[in-house]
Amino acid sequence: MAVRRWLKAWPVFRQLRGEDPSGRGEAAKSRHTAELRARVSTADEVVKSICPYCAVGCGQDVFVKDGRVIHIDGDPDSPISRGRLCPKGSASLQLTTGPGRWYEVLYRRPYGTEWERLGLDEAMDMIADRVIETRRQGWQWEENGVRVRRTMGIASLGGATLDNEENYLIKKLFTALGAIQIENQARI
Amino acid sequence: MAECHPVGFQWVMEAKARGATLIHVDPRFTRTSALADVHVSLRAGSDIAFLGGLVNHVLQNEADFREYVLAYTNAAAIVREDFRDTEDLDGVFSGLDTEHRTYDPATWQYEGADVPSVAGEGDEEFEERTQAGATIREAARVEAHGSGGAGVSGDIHTDETLRHPRCVYQILKRHFARYTPDMVEQVCGVPPDTFRQVCELVTANSGRERTTAFAYAVGWTQHTVGVQYIRTASILQSLLGNIGRPGGGILALRGHASIQGSTDIPTLFNLLPGYIPMPHAHADQTLESFIEAEGTVKGYWGNMRSYLVSLLKAWWGESATADNDYAFDYLPRLTGDHSTNETVLAQMEGTCKGYFLMGENPAVGSTNAKMQRLGMAALDWLVVRDFALIESATWWKDGPEIETRELRTEENGTEVFFLPAASHTEKSGSFTNTQRLLQWHREAVRPQGEARSDLWFTYHLGRRIREKLAGSTDDMDRPILDLTWDYPVHGDILEPDAEAVLVEINGHDARGAPLSAYTELKGDGSTTCGCWIYCGVYADGVNQADRRKPHTEQDWVAKEWGWAWPANRRILYNRASADPDGRPWSERKALLWWDPEHRRWSGPDVPDFQPDKPPDFRPAEGARGPDALRGTDAFVMQADGKAWLYAPAGVVDGPLPAHYEPHESPFTNPLYSQQSNPIRQVVKHPVNRYQPPGSPVFPYVTTTYRLTEHHTAGGMSRWVPYLAELMPEFFCEVSPELAAERGLEHLGWATIVSARTAVEARVLVTERMTPLTVQGRTLHQIGLPYHWGPNGYSTGDAANELAPVVLDPNTHIQESKAMACDIRPGRRPRGPALLEFVRDYRRRAGITDETGMEM
Amino acid sequence: MSQVSPGPPRMGFFTDTSVCIGCKACEVACKEWNAIPEDGLNLTGMSLDNTEKLDANTWRHVAFIEQRKPLAFQEPGVRHTGPVPDLATPPAEAPMTPMTPGEPGDLRWLMASDVCKHCTHAACLDVCPTGALFRTEFDTVVVQADVCNGCGYCIPACPYGVIDQRKEDGRAWKCTMCYDRIGDGLQPACAKACPTESIQYGPLDELRERASERLDTMHAAGVTDARLYGDDPNDGVGGTGAFFLLLDEPEVYGLPPDPVATTRDLPAMWRHAALAAAGLVGAGVIACLRSS
């Protein structure tokens, strides 16, 4: 059986048998070619998304297979983009899965000359301690005799590339901590 | 637009295919110009003169859409007798306080109107009444108008014939009379024939049957007069009847996925969610006195108490009660300008010691990048969250100051944490696009390694801080311990549920049911809402931002795709698309009309108006809030319901736009003897020295911009090989004439110099850059894309090293779109020699610490 | 000669360069879909084109051409007076971005996305000795990486200089018109991404009709130098599956004005080759049966 299959697949056999006497069409197809499918067609899941670059807000379809993103395409349903993407949007797969991504926490100690590795949990703990301490150091109940209830020790910048829900938590947390120097790209 | 918003540009191409005329006004001939019918090259920093010329053309020729102007604008309003225009005071308005570099806007008011009581503006009057010490005019108050304008109460005197010498229309006519085609040529370098062509195209395409749209980006905002650029366009579009109508408007093309959202739900110092101002410090301030000072009587800001109390309930839940003013005291207070550049100064001074950078790269992306880095170098600790090791994370190791030996790694004590961020495919959440449209993106996969979302980071940081402070009896810890901070988490990394946060933003009623509109909000503590303008995004318990009905299955407005604030309206002020009687101005441009049979507003869009308020509605005596607006008051967020041709309040640097030269300009102002915006915000600092106006040492104008192939400061493109290879390194664009004048070689190196520093770039000589004739002499302009920095796959100097920190007084946005500079062939000096090189330039230009500080 | 076989109609690309905005989405979408290697950082000085040409690692290439020519009634808003250098000067030696000479003050900026032409008479396919190159049921020409042995015969055969050898693996590569995608009823990646429909994909007959209408529109609008390129079945390659609306001579875009299939005389030779092949097959089949 194997031989027959092999024979059927043999280009020259197909060339003689089929309607492709020049051997440059169907007969020349390799098995790989014959079985070729668009990888988006065999994805486990299509997840609806929005392009992360500019504020046009183009729709994206994120194709997932075996727990990995295998392709990002324009979403044809979007009334804004109608499935199209610019070069940046088209590079979303490389942006999110490419060599530019960094996946480890790094730490530079004061006066240190190199990065060091630090666990995420430890880093979060250290940052929480820093916030508490700096907040207290920079605390003001009053300025010029008027109540201000704030800390001038801590500031934050960033948010225009983040989600609304993220900005909401940032504003909420820092305001409750008394930090007012909370800014983002919209100022710039 | 073709360069930076290519997919949005498909709609411009659609319009072109249907016969629309495309005019592109830009110093450079770009990919947008290539597809335009008319490209107008003008001097960077001269747009108010250009737009003012258009306004003058409309007024001189009475080409305005008179019925629209009379019905929907404040053209007929009469201004106080003691108002003095730039015409009277040679370039400044009445009320200028030269000592404090501020305006007192009292004389700008309407005649007959009481003191303005305005969302975001009224605090100034609070100031006057309370005589409190702190000045708050610096505090970006006008941004509180992000969802509407300032307000005025009282009985405004009007003259519907528009003949009264002090009516807005006549003031406008006199004010803009000097913006003639010849003056436009003197200021902008635009030949009169080209300018007349634009005037004719714009006016012929506006009116009852046709509309013209303006699109702009940060080329209009990054100026010391940025707000007034937009004001000039607003005046023009209001005169031409192009606001609130399909195909009209002034469209801000914003450059980050959710930069609109980060303004609506603001990570901004001066705002609370939904453009409610952050409170300023005042003695004995209560919730009531705050609302009295900040709210308005008429219009939707009249309901500010409902918005604010619902926000306080969302944040402090059970701890926010009527007895404690709904925890209003928990909000920290402002005492002036606390914007990002002020923060940098505070870092250098040692006040601000800890800094979070979340998806932002100021070491490349902010003006005077050196100042940004020196601020970071003075910190105790810095947390950087990004995809890769951006320049803001590594300046202590390999930044430009290490090379110049201004900083030494082993002597720098800043502790730096780098935490990798999750991408949009690795988290759920909503982005608000440039049209105020919220669109949900769903998590596709879990982030790898230690990459986490900012939602995760913020939630878990807050959780840890609360755990560490648990049991504290210190009053300063009450706001953080009383905070509602109980979000469900899922998965092995304990990712917070973004939809639960959206539910909180949307708000709920006393029974816990999601609200469907901000009109349901109450000021008695029975409702919660994290951002009033977003109320309704979770109406009926459904994530409206995640609606994805294909555009092929709905009408052209596509209301069932995502959700636009407010109330899913797609075109703001769309009441103005119909005439005063409620009939569309034309069938071609029909969007909303009054249906007398059903007594409702009808049409493809959601009415931006009370849906059952008839065109002939007249408010009852003493009515408040939206009920105080008439059936023809289309501009519902304005306290008088009108589009403002003249701004009697709300803009700190004048009720009308006037052309002022950029802070650093090679020219003197031909319009007025006032050279620059008298109240522009200057920063006196040794690393922020300014150039004198008209200096022959800095004879050229430079402007910064983006390329299609890269994104802002490069964090999302310089590390992406497929993008990096398309635009592999930093370059400057110059004309062949400038190349000849300065001996610049195509593909060679050039050094571009300002009073701050010098950068080097490869040279592209192209006829797309054109010399202009300005005030009788040849002006060369230099184009600098600003995406690069020393890190990443594609590298280069950062254009933002050159720009000064000098700011628009309304928004505190920096002037990076028009600067003066020098250019010379060859690479820049290395190491400490660079500092000496720039010092020499400063010496030659006679720069001292006082240069540029004059008013 | 193309295959006459039942099945889908001949599919192709119509690239309307008059609406190209030079965004290069096609280049990136192509690379992302086909996982083509990034091929280095090189600022070329040829306007905003840093890709230069089609090759093994670039299957879509956007050319940018600056010209001192008017675009119908466009007002370009630039003012220049000096001469422009001879176009023959290599970009690296030129004093400025290469520019088609003309009247000072005129300026137009042409952008065009180039791609494999998927010729009717495809010389690359004709000369391929391994059957790596084949003609698909869509009448497109595709090279099969699993068959290609890297002999390189196809490379000089292409009259457009499209197909190219990848240094890393020695094999020949070029645009497949996303054979895997179109087989599943999807558009090729470049056409899907293109923001302004400059790249259109579809049945070739329909595209040719649309192109001819577009050409009429352009002429009526005063763009008199607009022309189609590759749409003529009587040209030297029998017409192409990927054809273009250009706004100037093909040479301006780096395209040959009169491409000729280098293998135009091959059909006469085929009869001899077929006989030889038949002999080989007979021997092969016998050998197989024996060994089983």
Nearest CA in chain C to A76: C192
Work out the burial of residue C194: count CB atoms within 10 Å of its CB; fewer than 13 is exposed, 13-18 middle, 19 or more buried: buried
Structural contact between residues B761 and B749, judged by C-beta atoms closer than 8 angstroms = yes
Chain C residues in contact with B740 (beta carbon < 8 A): 82
**H or E segment and range at residue A38:** none
Sketch out chain A's domains with CATH numbers: 2-34 (no CATH), 39-97 (2.20.25.90), 138-187 (no CATH)
In a domain, C2, yes or no: no
Q: What is the CA radius of gyration of chain B?
A: 27
Residues of A in contact with B813 (CB under 8 A): 187-188
**Nearest residue, CB atoms, C28 vs list A15, A36, A87:** A87
Q: Name C55's Cβ contacts closer than 8 Å, sequence gap at least 6.
A: C39, C164
The correct answer on CATH 2.40.40.20 for the domain covering B681-844 is yes
pLDDT at C96: 94
Quickly state the pLDDT bin for B624 (edges 50, 70, 90).
Answer: confident
E strands within B226-289?
Answer: 250-252, 271-272, 276-277
B340-425+446-480: which CATH number, 2.40.50.1020, 2.60.120.560, 3.40.50.740, 3.40.1640.10? 3.40.50.740
Which candidate from A56, A77, A103 shows the least CB-CB separation from B548? Answer: A77
C residues 163-192 closer than 8 Å to A (CB)? 178-181, 183-184, 186, 189, 192
Residue C200 forms part of a structural domain: yes
Minimum distance, in Å, between the CA of residue B29 and any CA atom of chain C: 8
Contact A23 C277 (CB under 8 A): yes
Residues of chain B above pLDDT 70, percent: 95
- Tell me if residue B59 falls in helix, strand or coil: helix
Per-residue pLDDT of B486-517, as tens digits, reads 999 999 999 999 999 999 999 999 999 999 99
Chain C nearest C-alpha distance from A13 (Å)? 7
pLDDT the model gives residue C269: 47
Q: Is B624 exposed, middle or buried (0-12, 13-18, 19+ CB in 10 A)?
A: middle
**Residue C130 domain-assigned?**
yes
Give the closest of C27, C131, C134 to A87, CB-based: C27
Nearest to B388 by CA among B368, B409, B359: B359
Residues of chain B with CATH 3.40.50.740: 340-425+446-480
**Which band of pLDDT confidence, cut at 50, 70 and 90, is reported for residue B519?**
very high
Cβ atoms within 10 Å, residue C225: 15
Does residue C274 lie within any of the structural domains?
no
The reply to whether residue B444 touches residue A59, judged by beta carbons under 8 angstroms, is: no
**Radius of gyration (C-alpha) of chain C in whole angstroms:** 21
Please report how the helices B340-349 and B369-377 are oriented relative to each other, as an axis angle in degrees rounded to 10.
40
Taking an 8 Å cut-off on Cβ atoms, the answer to whether C73 and B10 are in contact is: no
Instruction: Flag whether residue C288 sits within 8 Å of chain A, measured between CB atoms.
Output: yes
Q: How many CB pairs under 8 A join A and B?
A: 498
Nearest to A90 among C25, C270, C284 (CB): C25
| Test mutation, C28, C148, C178, C290, chain A, max A CBs within 10 A | C28
Beta strands in C88-165 (DSSP E): 99-100, 108-115, 133-135, 141-143, 164-165
- Give percent of chain A above pLDDT 90: 83
Going residue by residue through chain C, which has 292 residues, state the pLDDT in tens, using 9 for 90 and above: 444 556 899 999 999 999 999 999 999 999 999 999 999 999 999 999 999 999 999 999 999 999 999 998 899 999 999 888 887 887 778 899 999 999 999 999 999 999 999 999 999 999 999 999 999 999 999 999 999 999 999 999 999 999 999 999 999 999 999 999 999 999 999 999 999 999 999 999 999 999 999 999 999 999 999 999 999 999 999 999 999 999 999 999 999 999 998 776 555 544 444 444 444 444 444 344 344 3
From first CA to last CA, the distance across chain A in angstroms is: 70
CB-based contact (8 Å) between B20 and chain C? no
Binned at pLDDT 50, 70 and 90, residue A13 comes out as low
Q: Structurally, how many domains does chain C consist of? A: 1
What CATH number is given for B9-55+182-252 in this structure? Answer: 3.40.228.10
Q: Is C87 on the interface with A (CB under 8 A)?
A: no
Q: Please state, for a pLDDT cut of 70, what percent of chain A lies above it.
A: 88
- Residues B708 and B219: their CA atoms lie apart, in Å, by 15
What is the rounded distance in angstroms from the CA atom of residue B585 to the CA atom of residue B592?
Answer: 10
pLDDT at C79: 95
Alpha carbon distance B164, B713 (integer Å): 51
pLDDT given at position B150: 54
Give the integer Cα–Cα distance in Å for B455 and B453.
Answer: 5
How close A188 gets to chain C, by Cα (Å)? 25
Q: Is C100 on the interface with B (CB under 8 A)?
A: no
Across residues B820-838, what is the average pLDDT? Answer: 98
C 54-73: CB under 8 A from B: 66, 68, 73
According to DSSP, residue A102 is labeled -
pLDDT tens per residue, range B41-85 = 999 999 999 999 999 999 999 999 999 999 999 999 999 999 999
Is some CB atom of chain B closer than 8 A to the CB atom of A46? no
Q: Does A51 touch chain C (CB under 8 A)?
A: no
pLDDT band for position B301 (cuts 50, 70, 90): confident
The residue-averaged pLDDT of B471-475 equals 97
Per-residue pLDDT at C229: 98
Report pLDDT for A8.
55
pLDDT at residue B534 is higher than 60? yes
Partner C, chain B 23-62, Cβ-Cβ below 8 Å: 29, 31-41
Contacts (Cβ under 8 Å, ≥6 apart) of B234: B243, B250, B643, B644
Helices of type H across chain A: 2-9, 11-17, 31-34, 87-90, 92-97, 120-137, 164-177
The answer to whether C80 contacts chain B (CB < 8 Å) is: yes
Q: What SS3 class is residue B102?
A: strand
Q: Which residues contact B510 (CB under 8 A, 6 or more apart)?
A: B526, B527
Q: Dihedral of CA B614/B616/B622/B628: which sign?
A: positive
Question: Does residue C63 fall inside a structural domain?
Answer: yes
Cα three-residue angle B755-B800-A52, rounded to 5 degrees: 170
Q: Span A139-166, mean pLDDT?
A: 96
CATH number at residue C218: 3.30.70.20
What pLDDT shows up at residue C87?
79
Which one-letter amino acid corresponds to residue B192? P
- Has residue C143 been placed in a domain? yes
The Cα diameter of chain A in Å comes to: 99
Tell me if B561 and A79 make a contact (CB, 8 A cut-off): yes
Indicate the range of A15-19, B158-162, B835-839 predicted with least confidence: A15-19
Q: Using CB atoms, which chains have 3+ pairs under 8 A with C?
A: A, B
DSSP structure string for B586-628: -STT---EEETTTTEEESSSPPSS-TT--TT--PPTT--BGGG
Q: What is the mean pLDDT of residues B574-588?
A: 97
Residue B749 token pair: 């190196």
Report the residue of chain C nearest A41, measured CA to CA: C184
pLDDT tens per residue, range B678-730? 999 999 999 999 999 999 999 999 999 999 999 999 999 999 999 999 999 99
Q: pLDDT at position B788, please? A: 98
Q: At what angle do helices B181-188 and B192-204 cross, to 10 degrees?
A: 120
Q: How crowded is residue B560: how many other Cβ atoms within 10 Å of its Cβ?
A: 17
Per the CB < 8 Å rule, is C97 touching B40? no
Cα B251 from Cα C6, distance rounded (Å)? 52
What pLDDT is stored for residue C86 in this prediction? Answer: 82
Residue B113 confidence class, pLDDT cut points 50, 70, 90: confident
What is the ipTM, given to two decimal places?
Answer: 0.95
Closest CA to B769 of B779, B758, B777: B779
Give me the pLDDT at residue B114, please: 58
Tell how many helices (H) and how many strands (E) occur in chain B. Answer: 25, 28
- Position B146 scores a pLDDT of 53
Which chains reach chain B with 3 or more Cβ–Cβ distances below 8 angstroms? Answer: A, C
**pLDDT, tens digit (0-9, with 9 covering 90-100), for B750-805:** 999 999 999 999 999 999 999 999 999 999 999 999 999 999 999 999 999 999 99
pLDDT given for residue B154 in this prediction: 66
Q: What is the pLDDT of residues B273-291, one digit of tens each?
A: 999 999 999 988 899 999 9
Give Cβ neighbours of residue B193 (< 8 Å, ≥ 6 apart).
none
Can you tell me the distance from the alpha carbon of B273 to that of B472, in angstroms, rounded to the nearest whole number? 28
Domain range for C202:
11-266
Range 70-99 of A in CB contact (< 8 A) with B: 72, 75-82, 84-89, 91-92, 94-96, 98-99
User: Would residue C286 count as lying in a domain?
Assistant: no
Residue C22 is assigned to a structural domain of this protein:
yes
Residue B422 has pLDDT above 70, yes or no: yes
Q: Which residues contact B287 (CB under 8 A, 6 or more apart)?
A: B305, B308, B309, B325, B326, B328
pLDDT, chain B, mean: 94
pLDDT at A19: 55
C165: left (phi over 0), alpha (psi -120 to 50) or beta: beta
Q: Which of A46, A47, A50, A71 to mutate to test the interface with B (most CBs of B within 10 A)?
A: A50
pLDDT at B302: 85
Alpha-carbon torsion (A118, A122, A124, A128), positive or negative: negative
